[in-house]
A = this chain, B = another copy of it.
Amino acid sequence: MTQMEYARKGVATEAMKIVASEENVPLDTVVAAVAEGTAVIPLNIHHTNCHPIGVGRIFKTKVNANLGRSVTHSGRGDELDKLNVAIKAGADFVMDLSVGDDIKAIRQGMLNASSKPLGTVPVYETISRLKGDIPQMDPSLLLQVIKEQAEQGVDFMTLHAGLLLNHIPLAMKRKMGIVSRGGAIMAEWMMENKSENPLYTKWDEVLDILSEHDVTVSLGDGLRPGCLADASDAAQFGELEVLGELVERCRKRSVQVMVEGPGHVPFNQIKMNMEREQQICKGAPFYVLGPVVTDIAPGYDHITSAIGATAAATYGASLLCYVTAAEHLGLPDAREVHEGVISYKIAAHAGDVARDLPGARVRDDEMSDARAAFDWEKQFSLALDPETAKTRWLKTRNNTDEAHCEDHCSMCGKEFCAVRTSRRIKNMSKKL
């Protein structure tokens, strides 16, 4: 039985209890949200070492880190290193997007090493087995790979089932066409075989497999915009309508489902995009990639996209897929994975504060109290990245005669420390 089936029978599973406790949300509320599909707990029944994480607007916004080798780059060891870096930095989910050889072993290594739910895009392994020959893909092979991955313990799968033949001409009018790797694969197969999307036509068979292992569907946005100019266009929103239909089909089968979204979106269009998805997909958790809010900053897309992700989290997203500084240039190294996750923890948290999620600002307030009290160790312990904060602070102090002063920082120096001055003013105020 899936978490959704249990919930619909009114049964609170161990996973729901853990999520309710960690999120400080009443258990009844969690059960009801999983039952109606506004929250999901991606947790394959075979992934027994996995800690359950809730995704939905009643919970804190979550962060996913994409990992995985390309054909010519990296391998199992590197990806395991990056997995550990991502989890240590606070990633709530990880995806293995490997292509090329050795995919199953890489994934098994990640499943063994990860206490966090793991996602995949099964068509990557399918096409990798065919050495990249997309037109030759037999749909039954794709279903076979989905089944094997489900049996292996994958917690959620991106399936580009909403991209249909009639959307492709719309996407070809764009500047960037199709930039989703999975979407481009499905579209080429459809064009070459003059056939409708096999994930769409065989959706019930797909759901049979997923239901058996409680794999959560992540409906891929194969037509997500790849640049600002393509955002919010007919191709994107045409696919979104089909995703809304597929959400309903998942829910009828009690298969948990979330929906993926853009990508590249001007800052002023993000709110509308979030609201539109929530409406069309009837509150299914929205899982967004960025979005980046400008195309002109390669090398800094962890920042361009953390800006968009904050707006997304504020207005409707529940899960943020990080974008790293390597985006558009290469695969991220471990340092870039770390910075990417931290950038997205910032976005997720800033969004939770902005949408007034109960308790979200408590940690900020504790930090402010620690700052006012010059309690540096407390500040570091409250920081999203304690090591980086403390190292940077020590760097300044070790170079100066301020090394033993605790009651100011080197930004202004002791005589010019506003917090010190403000304290003196407060003492004077009390005497008045």
Q: Chain A interface mostly helix, strand, loop or mixed?
A: helix
Does B179 lie within 8 Å of A418, measured CB to CB? yes
Q: Which residues of B contact A176 (CB under 8 A)?
A: 368, 371-372, 419, 422
Q: Which residues of B contact A70 (CB under 8 A)?
A: 410-413, 416
Output the nearest chain B residue to A187 by Cβ-Cβ distance.
B425
- Binding-face segment, A6-14, A141-149, A301-309: A301-309
Does B229 lie within 8 Å of A365, measured CB to CB? yes
CA A424 to CA B188, docked complex, whole Å: 8
The yes or no answer to A296 lying at the interface (CB within 8 A) is: yes
Q: Which of B230, B363, B372 contacts A177 (CB 8 A)?
A: B372
By size class, the interface of chain A is: 35 or more
CA A349 to CA B297, docked complex, whole Å: 10
Count the copies: 2
Does A350 lie within 8 Å of B267, measured CB to CB? yes
- Binding-face segment, A32-40, A48-56, A246-254, A324-332: A324-332
Output the nearest chain B residue to A175 by Cβ-Cβ distance.
B368
Does B293 lie within 8 Å of A350, measured CB to CB? yes
Contact residues, A389-417 vs B (CB, 8 A)? 389, 392-393, 395-397, 399-402, 409-416
The yes or no answer to A367 lying at the interface (CB within 8 A) is: yes
The yes or no answer to A226 lying at the interface (CB within 8 A) is: yes
- Binding-face segment, A18-26, A211-219, A351-359: A351-359
Q: Which residues of B contact A191 (CB under 8 A)?
A: 425, 428-429
Q: Which residues of B contact A100 (CB under 8 A)?
A: 413
Does A328 lie within 8 Å of B410, measured CB to CB? no
CB-defined interface of A128-144 with B at 8 Å, one 1/0 digit per residue?
A: 00011010000000000
CB-defined interface of A180-192 with B at 8 Å, one 1/0 digit per residue?
A: 1101110110011
CA A168 to CA B424, docked complex, whole Å: 12
Which among A131, A192, A392, A395 has the greatest number of chain B C-beta atoms within 10 A? A392
CB distance from A430 to the nearest CB of B (A): 9
Contact A429 B268, CB 8 Å, known A72-B401, A364-B227, A371-B227:
no
Contact A228 B412, CB 8 Å, known A191-B428, A330-B396, A423-B177:
no
Q: Which of B267, B331, B345 contacts A314 (CB 8 A)?
A: B267
Output the nearest chain B residue to A267 by Cβ-Cβ distance.
B354
CB distance from A426 to the nearest CB of B (A): 5
Q: Which of B192, B351, B367, B428 contacts A296 (CB 8 A)?
A: B367
Does A307 lie within 8 Å of B410, measured CB to CB? no
Q: Which residues of B contact A328 (CB under 8 A)?
A: 371, 379, 409, 411
Q: Which of B99, B295, B410 contacts A72 (CB 8 A)?
A: B410
CB distance from A300 to the nearest CB of B (A): 6
Output the nearest chain B residue to A361 by Cβ-Cβ distance.
B228
Output the nearest chain B residue to A124 by Cβ-Cβ distance.
B416
Does A296 lie within 8 Å of B421, measured CB to CB? no
CA A396 to CA B98, docked complex, whole Å: 17
Q: Which residues of B contact A293 (CB under 8 A)?
A: 310, 350, 353-354
Q: Which of B183, B361, B429 contacts A168 (CB 8 A)?
A: B429
Does B422 lie within 8 Å of A177, measured CB to CB? yes
CA A393 to CA B327, docked complex, whole Å: 10
CB distance from A356 to the nearest CB of B (A): 8
CA A299 to CA B385, docked complex, whole Å: 8
* Given A187-B421, A191-B425, A298-B392: 8 more A-B contacts, CB < 8 Å: A73-B399, A124-B416, A181-B418, A267-B311, A295-B368, A297-B342, A299-B383, A326-B392
Q: List 18 A-B contacts (CB under 8 A).
A: A99-B412, A99-B413, A99-B415, A168-B425, A169-B429, A177-B426, A185-B421, A187-B422, A228-B361, A266-B361, A267-B350, A267-B353, A296-B384, A298-B380, A299-B383, A306-B306, A307-B307, A311-B311
